C-alpha cells in the first residue's frame, strides 16, 4: 500500500553514502526557526519531539501561552513536559504539538506545572532524539516511523511512571477522549486546529499507544472545573487534576490524560509506541501494528536513518563537514512537509469534512503553498520527482474532493492562510519539469476555476476586481490581504496557467493568461519605481511609504513585507521589469539599494529570489555569488539559531540548499536555474531513473575560487554558456557543469 | 429479552381500571422532594424531564451551582434550559440530569444563559409532560420508554432550532463526545458521576439521538477556554461558545453540544428520539431501534400510560380523588427506582469497571438501599414480586461480579453512600416473603462475607470493632458514619441474616447472628433511655445531648438524625426494647414524647416506623391510626410540596402508600404488618398469581370511622384478631381484613 516506504527500504540496502550523519536537527530550534529536534522520519505524519514550551517559570524563556508561538521546542527553554507525537516543522502558527508522553519517577504527579523537568545530554540525529531528564534520572530516547512514534525510557530503580497528557499541546483547540483497552494499551482522540487562530478548522487526531510492560497501576486523569459556593466545599477536586485509578471506560473532556506506574529495576527500559491516524482509532491501531509489530527501538531507529540516507544520498557534495551539515540539514528540513496523511491501509480524510477516502497512492498533507511553491516543490521535482508526483496527485485529489486546489492545507482542512493561488504554480511547474503522471486535465480544470470564478472563489477571493481591473485595488483591503501582494501572486499563477495551457496545446488560454500575467505593469509606478497600491479608480495610494511594513506591521498593499520586498516580485518577467525600471543599470542600482538599505528580508518569501536577479544583468552574475555568500554567512549556521527565522516548512532551508549547490530556479513555471558559485568544490546529483533521462548531474567548482568576486564562467558538458542559466532540461539530461 | 416490558404489554390489554389518571407527577417537585414531573416509564433507565435548575437569574429561585442540589426540576423555578434524558428521582445527591434537548426559534443562540425560556401550561401525567415555552411560542411535549425518550416540539413558522447540550447537567462530572452520523442522527457520550461528591464514581452514558426531519443546517459547539496575553487578541472565541457549522467528525470536550436549524411551517412538529445505554453507542442505537422503530409520539405515550396502569391497577382503592391521587402518586414514585440498566440486547456494565455482562434477566440499578430496604422492597415484594425478584437477582449478580452486595449502587458503581449492610436485609426479607427464584446460596455467601470479613470490608468497614466489641465504638468515627447508627444497621442486617439462616436450615448461623442482632442492648443507656454512643473502653460518650443532630448537623453516634430519631430503631426486637425502657407504660411515654417534643422526623428514614410502634402496646393501636392520620395531613398533599422532603427513591412515598392502606411492615426480616385504620373505605390488592397462592387481599374499612380515635378492631376472614398485626402469609393467602 505504501509505495514510498517500500521504495525507501529497497534503496536503503544500496551502498550510498550515509549523509544523514551530517544532519543537525537542532538547527532552526532558536531564532524562531520553528523546527524541532525530535525523531522525524522523511515526510512522515508522526514525529516525536521534545516539548518544552509549557510552564516552567523562568526555566522557559518562551512560554506557549504568553505569545504567538508556533514551536513545540525552543532551544533556549529548559523545562520539558513531554514528547509530542504530531508536530509541524517550520510553520508560523500554533497547532498540533499534541499526544505528549512524559516519563517520571516517584509518587505520581499529574500536573504538568509540577512534573516537568530540566534535561541534559541532548542528542539528535535524523530519526532519533535523546536526553537525560535531570529531575528523574531518566534517559529518554525517541524514534519514529511514518505514522508511529516509539519512546524508550530507561528508569532508575523504584516507582516509575509514564504519563500521556491529552490536555497539554501547542494547538489552541481543546478536547480529547481516551480509553484503556487493556492495561498495556490506551486509545483515544485529541482535538486540534484553530490553526493561525482560524476558528473553523478543527478535527480530531486518533491514537493508539501500547506499552512494553504491564503496569503495576494505571488510570486516567481530568482537570476538574472551578466549582463555587457550597459545591466548592464538597467537591474533592476543584480546579485541579483528579486521578481515576484503574478507570477503564471512555473518558472525555478538555484536559485529560492517562498514566501508568511501574516498579522498575535499576536501568530498566520501558518502551511506548504510539500510532496515529486522522481517520479512526482502528486505523491508528493498524498503523501501529503495520509499522511496529514489536518493540524494537534500535531497529526502528536504523530504519529511519536508512530512509534519510536514501534521500539525502541523492546529492553528493564535496566540502567541509560544516558545509555538509548546513546543506544536508537544509535538505532534511525540506523533506518534512508535505507529509503523508493516509493510513497504512490507504484511508485518509477527504478534503473538507465529507468522509473518508482510500487510495493506493500516497496522500500528502501540510501544504504551506504560499511559501513552498517558490522553491520547495521545484527542489522536490528535481531531486525527488516521485515524491513531488505524489504531492501533485494529492493536491489534484483535493480539488476533486472539495472543488478547490489547496492553498494552506492542514490535515484535510483548507485553512485559507496567506494569499494568492500557489497550487496552480506548484502543479504547472511540476508538469513542465516532466512530472506528468497525474490527472492534468482535472488539475487544469481546477486551475481555470480558480482563475475564472468571480463569486465565492475560495482561492482568489479578489477575482471580481482582478478580472475587471487587471489588478486588486487597495480600497477594501483587510489588514492581511495586501492588494499588490495578492495581485502579484495572481499574476504568477496566471503565468503558470499560461505555460501549462501552452504545454497542453491550449494556445488561446495561453495567450489570455499570459496577458493577465503581464498586467503587473499597471501597478508599476514610474515615479517611485515601486509596484504600488492603486485604488479602484486607478489612483495611486497616497501618501505612500515604501518602507512601511518592514517590521511586519500592516502596510496597505503588502502582506508580510513592504514595497521594497515586493518591488521585483515578477519572476516570470524580470526582463520586462528591468525595462520598466529604466534598463539594466537602473535596475542594478535599485537591486543593490534593496540590499544596501536593509530592505531585503532573508527571512520571508517575497524577495528571496532577489539575490539571483543579478544574473539577468549582463556580466553581473558574480554579484549573485557574492550576495548569496554573504547571506549564507549572515543568516545560516550550524547552531540552533542557524536559520533566518521561520523555516516556512522548508522554504528557507530550500533556499540554502539551492544556494549552496550554485543553482536556483528563477520562478515556478520557468525552467531556468540561475547559476552562481556553489559552496562545494563538487556536487553530484543522482537523477531519478523513473522520471529523468540522465543518470547524474555534476557541478564542479574549484575550491580556491569560493570567496572570489571574480565573475564566474560556466561550461556545460565542456561547452561555454552565454548566459548564467541552465534549463531544467539541461540538468535532467545529465552532464557536467563547471564553474570557473 | 425484556420480560418486564413484554409482561406489561400483555397485562395492559386486560380490563383493569386505569389508575394512572390519578397520578400527579408534580408532587414532590418542591420542598426538596427531588422528584421530577417529566415523562417516566415504570422502572425505566431513561426519562425526559424539564430541566430548570441552571442559570435564569431571579427566574430560578434555586440554582444548581449555588447550593447542594439534587433536583433537575424545582417547581418554584421558571427558567427552563431543556429536557434531560437521564434523571434520578428522589435522591439527595446531584448526579445525572444530562443529555439536554432544547427547542428554540430565531437566530441560533447556543449559550444556555441566554437561550433558556420561561414556560406555561405545564401538564404532566405518567409517561407524559408538556409545556409552552413562552420565549419561543413552542409547545414542547415529551414521552419515554424503558431506554429512550421522545420529544415533540411544535414550532411557529420561521427558523426553528433544536439544541442538544452535553455540557449542562445536574452531575458535577464533566466531559462529553459527540458525532453527527448523518444529518438526522447524532451519537455520543456524556460523563457523569461524582455522586454525593464522591470523586471516584464516574462513567459515560452513551446516546443516539435521531430527528424526524432533515435540518437546513446543523453543527456542533464547544465552550472555549479563557485565553490570555496575545492569544486572547487573536483567538476568535475566548471563554465563549464556538459554533462549528457542518462539523461531522468526532468532537470531545468539557462543554459541547450539537444543534440543528429548520425552516418550519406554522405549527410544524419536529420529533426527536434519544436512546441511551451504559454499554456503548451501538447499544444505545439498538435500544432506540427496538423501542422506537418510528416516530410515533402518541403511540409511545399510550404505551407508557398502559404500562403504568398495569402496575397501579394491582391495587384498587375506594376513596376521594384526592386520596387516590396521593396514593397512586406514591405508588408511582415507588416504581421509579431501582430501574432497568441492561440494554435491549441484554448487555449491561458489570458491577465495578470490569467490562460488559449479558443476561436474559432484567438487570436493575439505582439501589439506595439504606433508604429502600426499610419499606420499598417489602412493598415491591408484596405487590410486584416479579420486579422484586429481578432486583434481588440483580443484587446477587453484583455480588458475583464485584464480591460485594450493593449498598448505594448507581449505574454499576458502588458509591458507598450511607452506612450499614442493607442488601442483606433486602434480600433476606424477600426470601422470607416467598421470592425465592434467585441464587440464595450465592446471596447467603455474600451476606456472610459482609458479616464476617474483618479487613477491607466494603459493606461493613466497622467490622473489626463490631465483631470484637459487639458495637461500633464512637472513638474514631468520621462526621458521616455515626457509631450508633452504624451499629443499629448491622444489628438489623444480622437479624435478617439469622432469619435467612433459619429458613435455609442453618441453625448455628441463625443462633450466632441472632445473638449479634441483640447486642444492641449494650448500647442502651438506662440513665437516658437512649441508644448512646460508647467508646472502645465501654464508656458512654459524655457529654451527651440527645437532641444534637436534629437539624442534620453532625452528631457523634448518629447519621442524619439525633439520639431521639434512633432510640427505637431496633425494629426486630421492639418487645425487647420495651422491656429495656421499663415496660409498656414507660415506652408509651417515651414514644409519645418523641412526637410531642418535635424529635420525630417524618422526612428521614431511621424513625419512620415509630408511628407503628404503638401497635406493640396493648390497646394502643388507635394511637398509630391517629399518628398516621396526623402525619399524612401534616406532611403529604396533592401539591408540589406534598412530600416531607426528599423522596429517597420512593421511601417516603412508600411510607405514604402503606400508611394509606392501613398496613405497615414492621421490619425487614419480620413478616408482620402493623394494622391501623386505612385512608380508604376499601382496598383490593390483586396478588401475583406467579408468586402467591391467594388471588386478592381485601381491606374493608367503614368510611365514617376514618377520623375516629376509637380503638380499632380487626377481623381477618371473619375471625377477630388478638393483636393488631397480620402476617405476610395471611395476606398472600388472600382474604378479607375488616377494620371496625
Q: Does A252 touch chain B (CB under 8 A)?
A: yes
Q: Which of B176, B227, B237 sits opposite A252 (nearest CB)?
A: B176
Say whether B175 and A248 touch across the interface (CB within 8 A). Answer: no
Q: How far is CA B89 from the centre of its chain?
A: 5
Same domain, B287 and B364: no
For residue B565, the SS3 value is helix
Q: What is the pLDDT of residues B586-630, one digit of tens each?
A: 999 999 999 999 999 999 999 999 999 999 999 999 999 999 999
Q: B719 Cβ partners below 8 Å, 6+ apart?
A: none
Identify whether B322 is part of a domain: no
CATH of the domain at A582: 1.20.1610.10
Q: Which of residues 142-161 of A touch B (CB under 8 A)?
A: none
Identify whether B59 is part of a domain: yes
Q: Which of B230, B235, B254 sits opposite A254 (nearest CB)?
A: B254
Say whether A65 and B204 touch across the interface (CB within 8 A). Answer: no
B351 CB neighbours in chain A (<8 A) are: none
Same domain, A151 and A239: yes
Which residue in chain B has the smallest CA separation from A94? B231
Mean pLDDT of B668-692: 97
Say whether A249 and B353 touch across the interface (CB within 8 A). Answer: yes
Q: Does A200 touch chain B (CB under 8 A)?
A: yes
Say whether A253 and B175 touch across the interface (CB within 8 A). Answer: yes
Query: Can you give the pLDDT at residue B427?
Result: 98
Q: Does B189 touch chain A (CB under 8 A)?
A: yes
Rounded Cα distance, A621 and A603, in Å: 23
Identify whether B227 is part of a domain: no
Q: Which of B204, B228, B246 sits opposite A353 (nearest CB)?
A: B246
Same domain, B295 and B349: no
Rounded Cα distance, A591 and A607, in Å: 11
Which residue in chain B has the smallest CA separation from A237? B199
Q: Which of residues 66-105 of A touch B (CB under 8 A)?
A: 66-68
Same domain, B390 and B268: no
Rounded Cα distance, B390 and B4, in Å: 9
Query: Can you give the pLDDT at residue B199?
Result: 79
Query: Can you give the pLDDT at residue B580?
Result: 97
Q: Which of A311, A332, A354 is the last residue of a domain?
A: A311
Does the pLDDT at position B1 exceed 90? Answer: no
Of B172, B261, B166, nearest to B222 (Cα)? B166
Same domain, B533 and B588: yes
Q: B463 Cβ partners below 8 Å, 6+ apart?
A: B451, B452, B453, B454, B457
Does the pLDDT at position A3 exceed 70? Answer: no
Which residue in chain B has the smallest CA separation from A167? B253
Query: Can you give the pLDDT at residue B283?
Result: 98
Same domain, A290 and A407: no
For residue A493, the SS3 value is helix
User: Given pLDDT bands bounded at 50, 70 and 90, which one contains residue A13?
Assistant: very low
Same domain, A459 and A538: yes
User: Given pLDDT bands bounded at 50, 70 and 90, which one contains residue A10?
Assistant: very low
A203 CB neighbours in chain B (<8 A) are: 249
Q: Which of A289, A311, A333 is the last residue of a domain?
A: A311
B172 CB neighbours in chain A (<8 A) are: 227, 231, 235
Residue from A92, A175, A222, A283 whose CB has the most chain B CBs within 10 Å, to mutate = A175
Say whether B252 and A252 touch across the interface (CB within 8 A). Answer: yes
CB atoms within 10 A of CB B607: 23
With beta carbons less than 8 A apart as the criterion, state whether B89 and B337 touch: yes
Q: How would you label B547-577 residue by residue, b for 16+ Cβ within 10 Å and e otherwise?
A: ebbbeeeebbbbbbbbbbbbbbbbbbbbeeb
Strand-pairing partners, residue A274, are A149, A209
Strands A735-739 and A696-700: parallel
Of A524, A516, A525, nearest to A468 (Cα)? A516
Question: What is the nearest CA distance from A55 to chain B, expressed in angstroms?
Answer: 14
- Measure the CA angle with vertex B233, ends B246 and A73; round to 5°: 90
Residue from A193, A220, A249 whose CB has the most chain B CBs within 10 Å, to mutate = A249
Same domain, B279 and B381: no
B354 CB neighbours in chain A (<8 A) are: 248
With beta carbons less than 8 A apart as the criterion, state whether A159 and A106 touch: yes
Q: Which of B177, B248, B353 sits opposite A252 (nearest CB)?
A: B177
Same domain, A298 and A408: no
With beta carbons less than 8 A apart as the criterion, state whether A401 and A678 touch: no
Burial class (CB in 10 A: 0-12, 13-18, 19+), B334: buried
* ipTM for the assembly: 0.91
Q: Does a cis peptide bond (omega within 30 degrees of 0) precede residue B543?
A: yes
- Look up residue A39 and give its three cell numbers: 525523531
Rounded Cα distance, A521 and B232, in Å: 41
Identify whether B389 is part of a domain: yes
Strands B367-368 and B364-365: unpaired
Q: What is the pLDDT of residues B195-206, one digit of tens each?
A: 988 877 899 999
- Least confident among A603-607, A706-710, B160-164: A706-710
Does the pLDDT at position A9 exceed 80? Answer: no
Same domain, A268 and A380: no
Q: How would you label A241-263 residue by residue, b for 16+ Cβ within 10 Å and e otherwise?
A: bbbbeebbbbbbbbbbbbbbbbe
Q: What domain range includes position A232?
A: 3-311
Mean pLDDT of B252-259: 98
Q: A211 Cβ partners below 8 Å, 6+ apart?
A: A162, A184, A185, A260, A270, A271, A272
Q: Does B250 touch chain A (CB under 8 A)?
A: yes
Rounded Cα distance, B687 and A642, in Å: 89
Identify whether A357 is part of a domain: no
Query: Can you give the pLDDT at residue B549?
Result: 87
Q: Does B54 touch chain A (CB under 8 A)?
A: no
Count how many domains chain A has: 2
Cell numbers 377520623 correspond to: B707
Same domain, B596 and B484: yes
Q: Which of B311, B345, B375 is the last residue of a domain?
A: B311
What is the overall mean pLDDT for chain A?
94
Does the pLDDT at position B16 exceed 50? Answer: no
Say whether B228 and A204 touch across the interface (CB within 8 A). Answer: no
A248 CB neighbours in chain B (<8 A) are: 353-355
Q: Which of B174, B235, B256 sits opposite A172 (nearest CB)?
A: B235
Strand-pairing partners, residue B209, are B186, B274
Identify whether A50 is part of a domain: yes
Identify whether B235 is part of a domain: no
Q: What is the pLDDT of residues B548-576, one digit of tens each?
A: 988 778 889 999 899 999 999 999 999 99
With beta carbons less than 8 A apart as the criterion, state whether B28 and B643 touch: yes
Mean pLDDT of B412-437: 96
With beta carbons less than 8 A apart as the criterion, state whether B450 and B519 touch: no
What is the overall mean pLDDT for chain B?
94
Mean pLDDT of A1-16: 38
Mean pLDDT of B278-299: 98
**A687 vs B236, higher pLDDT:** A687
Q: Which of residues 326-385 of A touch B (CB under 8 A)?
A: 353-355
| Phi–psi pair at B245, nearest 5 degrees | -60, 135
A252 CB neighbours in chain B (<8 A) are: 175-177, 189, 191, 204, 252-253
User: Given pLDDT bands bounded at 50, 70 and 90, which one contains residue B352?
Assistant: confident
Say whether B200 and A176 touch across the interface (CB within 8 A). Answer: no
Q: Does A250 touch chain B (CB under 8 A)?
A: yes
- Measure the CA angle with vertex B253, ends B251 and B255; round to 5°: 110
B198 CB neighbours in chain A (<8 A) are: 236
Q: Please give the share of chain B, as a percent, with pLDDT higher than 90.
A: 90
Rounded Cα distance, B533 and B539, in Å: 9
Rounded Cα distance, B463 and B456, in Å: 9
Mean pLDDT of B214-223: 97
Question: What is the nearest CA distance from A114 to chain B, expressed in angstroms?
Answer: 21
With beta carbons less than 8 A apart as the criterion, state whether B600 and B623 touch: no
Say whether B68 and A234 touch across the interface (CB within 8 A). Answer: yes
Same domain, B380 and B437: yes
Does the pLDDT at position A507 exceed 90? Answer: yes
Identify whether B83 is part of a domain: yes
Q: Does B234 touch chain A (CB under 8 A)?
A: yes
What element of type H or E holds B131? strand B128-133
Strands A185-193 and A202-211: antiparallel
Query: Can you give the pLDDT at residue A636?
Result: 98
CB atoms within 10 A of CB A295: 18
With beta carbons less than 8 A apart as the criterion, state whether A144 and A152 touch: no
Amino acid at each position: 500500500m505504501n509505495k514510498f516506504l517500500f521504495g525507501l527500504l529497497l534503496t536503503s540496502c544500496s551502498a550510498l553514502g550515509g549523509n544523514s550523519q551530517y544532519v543537525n536537527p537542532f538547527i532552526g530550534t532558536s531564532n524562531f526557526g520553528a523546527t524541532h529536534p525530535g525523531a522525524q522520519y522523511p515526510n512522515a505524519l508522526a514525529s516525536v519531539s521534545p516539548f518544552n514550551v509549557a510552564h516552567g517559570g523562568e526555566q522557559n524563556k518562551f512560554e506557549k501561552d504568553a505569545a504567538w508561538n508556533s514551536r513545540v521546542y525552543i532551544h533556549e527553554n529548559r523545562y520539558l513536559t513531554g514528547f509530542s507525537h504530531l508536530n509541524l516543522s517550520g510553520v508560523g502558527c500554533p497547532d498540533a504539538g499534541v499526544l505528549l508522553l512524559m516519563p517520571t519517577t516517584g509518587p505520581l504527579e499529574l500536573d504538568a506545572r509540577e512534573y516537568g523537568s530540566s534535561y541534559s545530554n541532548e542528542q539528535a540525529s535524523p530519526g532519533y532524539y535523546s536526553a537525560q531528564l535531570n529531575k528523574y534520572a531518566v534517559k529518554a530516547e525517541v524514534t519514529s516511523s511514518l505514522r508511529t512514534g516509539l519512546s524508550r525510557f530507561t528508569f532508575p530503580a523504584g516507582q516509575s511512571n509514564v504519563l500521556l497528557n491529552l490536555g497539554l499541546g501547542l494547538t489552541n483547540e481543546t478536547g480529547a477522549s481516551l480509553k484503556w483497552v487493556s492495561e498495556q494499551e490506551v486509545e483515544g482522540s485529541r482535538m486540534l486546529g484553530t490553526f493561525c487562530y482560524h476558528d473553523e478548522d478543527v478535527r480530531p487526531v486518533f491514537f493508539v499507544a501500547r506499552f512494553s510492560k504491564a503496569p503495576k497501576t494505571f488510570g486516567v486523569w481530568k482537570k476538574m472545573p472551578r466549582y463555587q459556593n457550597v459545591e466548592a466545599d464538597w467537591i474533592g477536586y476543584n480546579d485541579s487534576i483528579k486521578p481515576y485509578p484503574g478507570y477503564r471506560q471512555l473518558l472525555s473532556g478538555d484536559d485529560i490524560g492517562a498514566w501508568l506506574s511501574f516498579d522498575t529495576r535499576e536501568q530498566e527500559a520501558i518502551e511506548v509506541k504510539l500510532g496515529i491516524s486522522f481517520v479512526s482509532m482502528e486505523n491508528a491501531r493498524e498503523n501501529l501494528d503495520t509499522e511496529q509489530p514489536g518493540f524494537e527501538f534500535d531497529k526502528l531507529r536504523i530504519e529511519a536513518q536508512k530512509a534519510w540516507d536514501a534521500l539525502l544520498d541523492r546529492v553528493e557534495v564535496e566540502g567541509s563537514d560544516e558545509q555538509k551539515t548546513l546543506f544536508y540539514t537544509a535538505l532534511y528540513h525540506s523533506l518534512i512537509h508535505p507529509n503523508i496523511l493516509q493510513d497504512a491501509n490507504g484511508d485518509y480524510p477527504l478534503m473538507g469534512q465529507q468522509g473518508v477516502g482510500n487510495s493506493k497512492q500516497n496522500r500528502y498533507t501540510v501544504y504551506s503553498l504560499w511559501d513552498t511553491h517558490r522553491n520547495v516543490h521545484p527542489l522536490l521535482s528535481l531531486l525527488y520527482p516521485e515524491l513531488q508526483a505524489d504531492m501533485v496527485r494529492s493536491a489534484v485529489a483535493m480539488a476533486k474532493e472539495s472543488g478547490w486546489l489547496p492553498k494552506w492545507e492542514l490535515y484535510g482542512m483548507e485553512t485559507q492562510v496567506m494569499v494568492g493561488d500557489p497550487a496552480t504554480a506548484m502543479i504547472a511547474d511540476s508538469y513542465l519539469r516532466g512530472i506528468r503522471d497525474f490527472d492534468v486535465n482535472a488539475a487544469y480544470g481546477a486551475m481555470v476555476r480558480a482563475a475564472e470564478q468571480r463569486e465565492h472563489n475560495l482561492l482568489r477571493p479578489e477575482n471580481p476586481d482582478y478580472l475587471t481591473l487587471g489588478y486588486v485595488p487597495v480600497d477594501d483591503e483587510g489588514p492581511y490581504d495586501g492588494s499588490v501582494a495578492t495581485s502579484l501572486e495572481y499574476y504568477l499563477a496566471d503565468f503558470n496557467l499560461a505555460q501549462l495551457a501552452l504545454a497542453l496545446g491550449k494556445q488561446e488560454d495561453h495567450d489570455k493568461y499570459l496577458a493577465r500575467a503581464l498586467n503587473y505593469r499597471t501597478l508599476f509606478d514610474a515615479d517611485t519605481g515601486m509596484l504600488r497600491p492603486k485604488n479602484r479608480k486607478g489612483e495611486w495610494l497616497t501618501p505612500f511609504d515604501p518602507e512601511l511594513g518592514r517590521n511586519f506591521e500592516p502596510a496597505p498593499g503588502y502582506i508580510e513585507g513592504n514595497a521594497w520586498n515586493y518591488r521585483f516580485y515578477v519572476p516570470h518577467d524580470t526582463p520586462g521589469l528591468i525595462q520598466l525600471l529604466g534598463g539594466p543599470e537602473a535596475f542594478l542600482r535599485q537591486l543593490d539599494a534593496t540590499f544596501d538599505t536593509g530592505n531585503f528580508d532573508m527571512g520571508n518569501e517575497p524577495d528571496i529570489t532577489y539575490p539571483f536577479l543579478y544574473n539577468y544583468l549582463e556580466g553581473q552574475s558574480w554579484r549573485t555569488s557574492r550576495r548569496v555568500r554573504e547571506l549564507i554567512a549572515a543568516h545560516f549556521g550550524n547552531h540552533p539559531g542557524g536559520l533566518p527565522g521561520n523555516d516556512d516548512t522548508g522554504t528557507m532551508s530550500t533556499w540554502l540548499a539551492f544556494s549552496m549547490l550554485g543553482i536556483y530556479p528563477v520562478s515556478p513555471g520557468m525552467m531556468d536555474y540561475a547559476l552562481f558559485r556553489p559552496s562545494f568544490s563538487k556536487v553530484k546529483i543522482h537523477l531519478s531513473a523513473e522520471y529523468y533521462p540522465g543518470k547524474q548531474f555534476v557541478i564542479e567548482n574549484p575550491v580556491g575560487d569560493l570567496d572570489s568576486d571574480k565573475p564566474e564562467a560556466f561550461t556545460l558538458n565542456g561547452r561555454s554558456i552565454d548566459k548564467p542559466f541552465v534549463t531544467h532540461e539541461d540538468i535532467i539530461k545529465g552532464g557536467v557543469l563547471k564553474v570557473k
